[in-house]
A and B are shown apart, each in its own frame.
Chain A
Amino acid sequence: MTLMSDPAALITNDWRIHGSVYTDPEIFALEKDRLFHGPWLYVAHESEVREPGDYKTTYAGTQPVIVARGADDGELRVLLNRCRHRGSMVCQDESGNANYFRCPYHGWTYRNSGELRGITYDDGYAGLEREQLGLVRMPRVQSFAGFVFASFAEDGPSLEDYLGNAKPYLEIVSQQGPGGIRLSAGSHRLTYKGNWKLQVENTIDNYHFGFVHRSFLEVLADRIGEVPPIVKNILQNPEWRTIDLGNGHSVHEFGDPHTGNNQGQLGDLPFNLIVFPNLCFVGAQLRHILPRAADRTEVRLYPILHEGESDEDNAAILRVHEGFYGPAGMGGVDDIEVAFDRVHAGMEATEQDWLIMSRGAHREQPGEDGTLIGHAADEVPQRAFYRQWRKLMGGAQ
């Protein structure tokens, strides 16, 4: 299509977004190259890889990786999970502790730092440079407040510069428990047939709550014996606000980010946060969005447990989380149904192939450090995301 030569033209200055942004495999291929190959990508929380030799498998954007803490030096590395010989994944387990990864295909063996240690029957090769054939390492790995990010770019902004105004919020998340946090409860895994950005956009979208989650509001009313205050707060509480934090990041605050809460029994984080492009915090969870294809997405929801609190209190966090989120949750699956599956189905109608993302654009107010502040139910977070998307995908502003 002609628009492909300039992906920035898929977003108009009056905030119409072209449907192909969500549906076109060529756009997805460009995103793999421009969104998921350059900037910092979340891969793990340090609590998942505490001890030397600990590892977890996940995705850095769209590429399968092993996040491994060196058995010898304790250093965190992010290794592509692909044998250099014939491409098989060298590590299958979700997590574990290992000094070596051995490819099951032909027995090539790697240290958990990535170096190729052994080639089986190596007299069959003449002149292979074994020191060049370690598992591919992502060139930069850095942590902030316990959250581990990696980048495919050798150079570029530091992680702290990249996170920018999102940093104080990540620090608050990291201090939820008296001794910090840990992601030791596993994760809910969801999948849907639709584009990954639909899940990002839905993570901070107070506009939808009273509609998509009407059944959950009825549950809450039954639970607390009165009309739950969520929708009233969304529409009227000036302390509930959306903020474009810059660099594609955004937040929705339920009042003071240190003490606020959503009063809705969705989890106790005092805000919803999006860290561009695919890391979110909502309810009591870290949400890692994994784009698998233009029309296929996997989402992992990691409940955030509190270090220094009792098993009983942490189990209560899990129960609240399960009440709304996960494959049997009374809220999140309604999002999958309405905001992802039905959007994907509806967008097969392409005569007027534009979405409207301008809600509240006329009343965004400048805040400190280049931020933009809007009403709770305005599409400030969506525009924050697409400003960065447009910048990285190239073309004119």
Chain B
Amino acid sequence: MSATDTGVASESAVRAVEEFLYHEADLLDSRRYEEWLALYTDDAIYWIPQGDEPDHVHHVSIAYDDHRRLHERVLRLASGFAFSQDPPSRTCHVVGNVRVAGEIDGDLDVRSNLVLAEMRRGVQSVYAGQVTHQLVPTGGSFMVRRKTIRLINSDIPLSNLTFLI
């Protein structure tokens, strides 16, 4: 990454990050989950906190998945017996407000906003929130070491977040 003294990433670096986030969103919306999982490092964490509580050790999360758990989710969704995704959710991810906030141990600290429309069994729902990606540069593209999805409705009673976000 090349950054100026003001901490703002170069236009080309931001564009590369945006392309990557759009690619991830496209894989999710087309339910190409194995290809999606291949974007994640072996030590990846996929976290959907509940409420404003930032602590996954002392507070229950909607999901705090390591790579093993993500693999299990993908396996389950492909099993043909995941009834909560039968029929599957149709989703439309819209990713915006993308910026590179800085670096974490050589990884990029990327912030974005997500608006996600989901349609399942005749009901359309909208989820939205702030997303952070910790991206590992891999020579031309990236891998995800950590994704945190802070949904604005994470602490109300929910029914079904068994699709991947």
- A interface vs B, CB < 8 Å? 184-192, 212, 214-216, 218-219, 222-223, 298-299, 303, 311-312, 314-315, 318-319, 321-323, 326-330, 333-334, 336-338, 341
Contact = CB atoms under 8 A, between A and B. Distances in A.
B115 to A, nearest CB: 19
A189 B162 contact: no
B63 A189 contact: no
Contact of A337 (B50, B61, B84): B84
B34 interface: no
B76 A186 contact: no
B129 interface: no
Contacts of A326: 60, 62-63
B23 to A, nearest CB: 23
Q: Which of B48, B50, B62 has the most CB of A within 10 A?
A: B50
A315 B55 CA distance: 10
30 contacts: A186-B59, A189-B155, A189-B156, A190-B159, A192-B159, A212-B83, A214-B79, A215-B82, A215-B83, A218-B75, A218-B76, A219-B72, A219-B75, A311-B58, A314-B57, A314-B58, A318-B60, A318-B61, A318-B64, A319-B64, A322-B63, A323-B69, A327-B62, A327-B158, A328-B161, A333-B160, A333-B162, A334-B82, A336-B160, A341-B121
B70 to A, nearest CB: 11
B102 interface: no
Contacts of A218: 75-76, 79, 81
Contacts, number: 110
Given A214-B81, A315-B57, A330 B159 contact: no
B56 A189 contact: no
Interface of B: 48, 50-51, 53, 56-64, 68-69, 71-73, 75-76, 79-84, 86, 121, 155-162
B44 to A, nearest CB: 15
Given A327-B160, A328-B161, A334-B84, A219 B76 contact: yes
Contacts of B79: 214-215, 218
Contact of A333 (B48, B72, B159): B159
Interface of A is mostly: helix
Given A185-B59, A214-B81, A328-B62, A222 B75 contact: yes
Contacts of B51: 186
A64 to B, nearest CB: 14
Contacts of A214: 79, 81
B159 A327 contact: yes
B99 to A, nearest CB: 27
Contact of A186 (B50, B64, B71, B161): B50
Contact of A185 (B60, B63, B73, B157): B60
A333 B82 CA distance: 9
B137 to A, nearest CB: 29
A322 B60 contact: yes
Q: Which 4 A-B pairs have the closest CB atoms?
A: A191-B157, A327-B158, A333-B84, A214-B81
A188 B84 contact: no
B159 A191 contact: yes
Nearest to B68: A223
Contact of A322 (B62, B82, B162): B62
B60 A338 contact: no
Contacts of B58: 184-185, 311, 314-315
B60 A186 contact: yes
A223 B162 CA distance: 19
Given A186-B53, A188-B50, A328 B162 contact: yes
Nearest to B121: A341
A151 B73 CA distance: 43
A187 B60 contact: yes
A336 B84 contact: yes
A318 B68 CA distance: 16
Given A318-B60, A319-B64, A322-B60, A330 B72 contact: yes
B89 to A, nearest CB: 11
B131 to A, nearest CB: 15
A157 B83 CA distance: 43
